Every structure is written in structure tokens, then in C-alpha cells.
Chains A and B, each alone.
Chain A
Amino acid sequence: MAPAHDGRGVMQKQTVFQSRLLPYALVAPQLAIVLIFFYWPAAQAVIQSFLLQDAFGLSTSFVWFDNYKDVLGASDYFNTIVRTFVFSFLIAISSLSLALLLAVMADKPLRGSALYRTFLIWPYAVAPPVVGVLWVFMLNPSLGVLAHGLRAMGFDWNPLLDGNQAASLIILAAAWKQISYNFLFFLAGLQAIPSSVIEAAAIDGARPARRFWTIVFPLLSPTIFFLIVINIVYAFFDTFGIIDTITRGGPANSTVTLVYKVYEDGLLGGNLGGSAAQSVILMGIVIALTAIQFRFVERKVNY
């Protein structure tokens, strides 16, 4: 997957076809789509982010980093960045720990383990807005089944008014959806650990809990690291559908994430330069995350 062996290295075909035009014809469709729907809009966003348009859209002027200063200087944008990272962190931690626990259990040679596995992986296929709908229904203050339970326990549950409760609802729903994905990768990671290593530790007298923390967990760390990055990216982007069906950013912006803000500000229209600057900042964050992930992938290759 990593492009590490490209260029002049070993990873080249020795025998190839000779043709002058055919290879271009073969790459043309993908190249066209990538240029039109990827590079062109991305370039537009970058250019736009350095321009300022007057209120009537009649003239534009080049304003260097003013749009960035405006965006980053606004207190609500700063809050949104913090909120997005807090959401991501909480979603990743809760989903990863539950998934790891389940994967460790499902890795044991149990009766019916294939059945458990099937039941645990299919929520992967449920779309974020549907996840949102399922959770908003369960926890709807007036008719949700779980909301009734909370009320009965004397808990004043009303995510429509309370920002923290709305945020926890989003985090819960988003973490729930991600359990399957994390479970699958943890299980694959666990199955890749040679049993001889664990047997050796057992002969030395290490009990299961100790074996887990001193052997399994360290050997699993590449998987864990990979999943942390993936989960953060997931929390950045795929939670959009969940937020949009559960809270639409409310109450009082308490569940607006960076992607949601780009969407919302864009719908209002107006400040083109500002929205473009927001998009570019978001691109920067994603590229940074991807770079971290690739560094890690490289290391795994050299293992």
C-alpha cells in the first residue's frame, strides 16, 4: 500500500507492453475524473481562501491570509476545533476499549464464536444518518424507551435543551457505530499473534491478565495506533450524518463539529473566502493525520 518501493526499485515489472498511446487511453478516464472532481475543486478552495469578495460579488481582491486570520480569530471557530477534538477523542476511546474487550473474548475458542462475530460486525453496514435516527428514537425525551428509563431513575434527560446531554448522545451513537469496525481489526490483529509466544508465557507461569498486558497488548500496538488515526478521521467526517439527524448542531451550537460548520456556513452563503479557508484548514488537518498514518504504515512494513 505504501508507495515506498516505487521509482527505480525492485517493484517494477521486467516485462512490459510497448505502446505509445494505449497507456494514456487507459489512464485517461480516471485522470479526467480526478482532475475535474478533485484537483479543480481543491485548487478553487485554496485560491478562494486568499480572496475577498465584496458584498455584491462584483469585485474580488487578494487579501493574503486575512480570511484565515478571521476564521481562526473567531472564538466560535476555536471552540469548534476544541469540540471536534474532544468528540473524536471520546468516540475513539470508548469505541476502541469496548471493541478490544469484545475482540479478546471472541478470539477464544468458544462455542458459537462465529455467530457472535457475525452479530458484532453487521452494524458496520448501517449508515450514519440511520444510526442517528435509531438513537434519537431511543433517547427522544418524550417517547424514547431509554429516555423513559433514565427519567424513571430520576435523571433529568433532555438533550433538546442541554448541550452536554446532546453531545453525549452524539458521542454514544458515533461510538456505537464504530464498534464493529474496531472489533474486526482487533480480531484480525489478535489472530496474527503467534500462539507460541503466548504459550511460552503461560509456561513461565504468567496468568491471562498478565499475559494480555505484557504480551498481547504491546504486540497489538500497531493495530491500536492505526485504529486511533482511523477513528479520529471517522469522528471528523462520518459523524456528520449522525449530528445532522440527531441535533442539527444544536442546542446553541453545542454539537457543531468542523465539518458540520463548513456545511452550515456554506448553506448560509455569503462569506466565500471564509468557508474556503475553513475547507483548507480541514484539508491541512486530514493531510497531517494521513501523514502520521503513513509513517506508521512504513514502520510496520519494516518491522
Chain B
Amino acid sequence: MSTVAAQRVVGGPQNASRGAIRIEDVVKIYDSDGSAVMAVDHCSIDIKAGEICMIVGPSGCGKTTLLNAIAGFHDITSGRILLDDEVLCGPGKPKAEPGPDRVVVFQNGGLFPWKTNLENVTFGLLMQGKMSKASVTEKALSMMADAGLTGVEQNYPGEVSSGMRRRIEIVRALMTDPKVLLLDEPYRALDSLTKSVMHEALLEIYYKNKVTIFFITHDLEEAIFLGHRVAVMTSRPCRPKKFLDIDIPHPRDYSVLTSKRFRELLEETGEAVHEEALKAFATGEKEG
């Protein structure tokens, strides 16, 4: 069986030509006050272009550290990270440069409360100055409409629901046509009903835009529902403990949640996750 056929069978990634991330043997040690704390321990993950890779682990296990390294917010101690064979950070260049090819959607929301929703969405392209304001606005309005966000363009983020804010933030990220979306537990604060709506909306956006998704969560159901692949991480220091291919075909909708296969996968992974959660609980790591 060829690899392409194999991908079809597992409902594999879309045929994206860009956005492959290679995390090679990355180590991150925090040493701010002299007592070295290892957050990421020889971590290697290979993410295919156009894949939805879900990173699952208990809160505070060091997942966000990994994301920050890819995004370019933190340096790494050793190892390297590549995006489409281009070194983002590695020996001699410990910190990646943040840029519009890898856009982050933040845990607590990164929309600027002092800009209207439309101004938030147009922000990236206007700052880059490559397009005229009129064409940026046009693109923004059509992308917002596509995501079901009409009527709130002139509102401020503080005036719309948190679910809607998340959707706007994802649209804002996609405006700059990134290769990779880095999502840091974006739905953490949402109630489970809103969450389910958001999951379907994210998949819908994903099917329309060829983009690689690096998605951090502590919610295993979310991970299995959305991902092509789930990486269960160990608790501090953070390292992949188990990879799980999710062979439920895309496009998926909410009926997947009640399917037999979904339950099986949940069971298969549940134990590994629970084990790490217990460890994290025992060490009393602070969430974050």
C-alpha cells in the first residue's frame, strides 16, 4: 500500500504543499533563578504539511513551551525546529523569529480589545503593508462572512461572545495566509456546548484553507475529534509518550462523537493520558 493510499484510509492530511514542521530533539531548560527546570526533554515530532496534530497533556506539562519555541517567543536549549526544511531555530540560533507564516491563537484570547473586530482581522496585512487598505478590508469582510461573522465587524471583541471571539481570532490568523496555525488550548474557557460548535467551525475553516494545525489541548475528546494524529505528552519534562493515528475519515461532524471507533480510540489513549495527569497532579505543577 502506498503512503498516499494509507493516508486516504486514515482520512489523512489534505494535500498541502507547505507547512511541514519537524521538531528534532528539542530540549528546553528554564534557568531563571539558578535552579534548572527542564520543561521539554528531547522531544521529536514530525508534522506533515496540512496535518492536524493534536498535542495532549495535563495542564502545565510544557506543551506551551514547545508552541512558544515554534512561534518564536522563547529560545530552546538544544535541538532544532524546521518549517519546510528551513531552520526556524537550532544551534547558533536558539530563538525563532516570530512571523506571519506561523500564527498563534492564544489561550486567553489575543484579540486586541481596543480595536474593532474588523480592525483586528485586518491588522496583520495592514502592518505588513503589502496590500492596500481597501483590498485588505475586502478580504477581511469576505473571510469573516465565510466564517459566519457578519454583523459584528464594527463591534469590539468585548462586545461579542467568547466563542465568537475565538472564531474571529482564527480568521485574523488565517488572513495572513500562514503555513501553520498554532492553537494553544483555544477553547479551554468555553462551555462544552459552545466547544462542540467551535470544533465543527474549526474543521470547516480547515477544509477551506490549506494549513497545518498544531493544536494544544488537555481535552482528549477534542483531540480525537479534530486530529489526524494525537501526541500524548508526558508530564514535565514534556516529551511524546504515545502517538495515535486517528483513522476516522474527514470531513467529520459531530456524529463522530457517538461512533464506536471514537469510543475505542478514546479508551486506547485514555489510560496513557490519565497516567500523566496523575503524575502532574502528584508533582503539583501550576497550570499554564
A and B found bound together:
no
Give A residues with C-beta under 8 Å from B.
none
Give B residues with C-beta under 8 Å from A.
none
